Amino acid sequence: MMFEGFQLEMIDLPEATLRVRHGGSGPPILLLHGHPRTHATWHRVAPLLARSHTVVCPDLRGFGRSSKPADSPDHEGSSKRAKARDCVALMERLGFPTFAVAGHDRGAYVAYRTALDHPQRVSRLAVLDGIPILERLERCDARFAQAWWHWFFYAQPDKPERAIMADPDAWYGGSAERMGDEAHADFLEAIHDPATVHGMLEDYRAGLGIDRDHDAEDRQQGRRITCPLLCLWSLQDDTHELAGDMVGIWRSWAADVRGRGIDCTHHMAEEAPEELARELLAFLKG
């Protein structure tokens, strides 16, 4: 059974309603998924962490079965700042005024935004396969544009939705063998829902505009992440190859940074759950 012993519920927050899976006991850690996943991507990692921690896994707003923000010209409702507000409100609702947070892929951007905007709330930050959006865009060259063309295609109006919804299975791939039967079924439900596909794409539209602006404002004003930061990356993915020195990049945003690669492809929570859990637990213990 996926997430055995965990509770699944819809939680109403000031700005969104999130589908949330939570369980375990002890110090809290919030796990944030990436695109095009839901919280179910953590189903092999969360039980390992729950032996010593309270683990909270939401669908980000716009993703999965969580509510979808209203569209606006600046995409503010899909910004990482808006999703960070959800994170703080969710953990407060569950009784955790401070918490650790780990995010993968698009969830990594929400995780570090939460640490920047709410430093008094975040005790430790883990970013998986990610660097700040501003840093990524400043390193954009022909290699990046060829490999990560989807960033720019997804940010276009209307056309990405039509392309994806013509054949979501072919577009996104994914398999029950790799993901697990229940997690794969949850993923299929998400990618076949037009509202969810639109919500996921709005995350990219926010990324190239308002999220980039927020990063630039932080740099200009000298804001830095004040908690310890763990950076992990997939060795069989191209994130680190295109970015360069991942740990070095994060050291320009935070004082206490450590990190290393994990031998897997992009979805490390599904492919290397034991190793990922060990790294997270060691980091949480200090």
**256 belongs to the catalytic site:** no
Which amino acid type is present at position 156?
Q
Percent of the chain residues past pLDDT 70, beyond the cut: 100
Q: Give the phi and the psi of residue 94 in degrees, each rounded to 5.
A: -85, 0
Q: What is the mean pLDDT of residues 49-61?
A: 98
Q: What is the mean pLDDT of residues 56-72?
A: 98
Catalytic hit among 86, 105, 117, 211: 105
Quote the pLDDT of residue 286: 79
17: CB partners within 8 A, 6+ apart: 10, 11, 66, 67
The span from the CA of 243 to the CA of 275, in Å, is: 23
Residue 286: exposure state from Cβ atoms within 10 A (0-12, 13-18, ≥19): exposed
**266 belongs to the catalytic site:** yes
Q: What is the mean pLDDT of residues 98-111?
A: 98
Residue 244: how many other CB atoms lie within 10 Å:
11
Q: What's the pTM value of the predicted model, to 2 decimals?
A: 0.98
Name all domains of the chain by residue range, CATH numbers in brackets. 7-285 (3.40.50.1820)
Q: What is the mean pLDDT of residues 172-200?
A: 97
Quote the pLDDT of residue 227: 98
Residue 1 pLDDT grade (very low, low, confident, very high; cuts 50, 70, 90): confident
Residues 55 and 128: beta-carbon distance below 8 Å: no
Average pLDDT over the chain, rounded to whole? Answer: 97
Q: What is the mean pLDDT of residues 239-253?
A: 95
Q: What is the mean pLDDT of residues 156-174?
A: 97
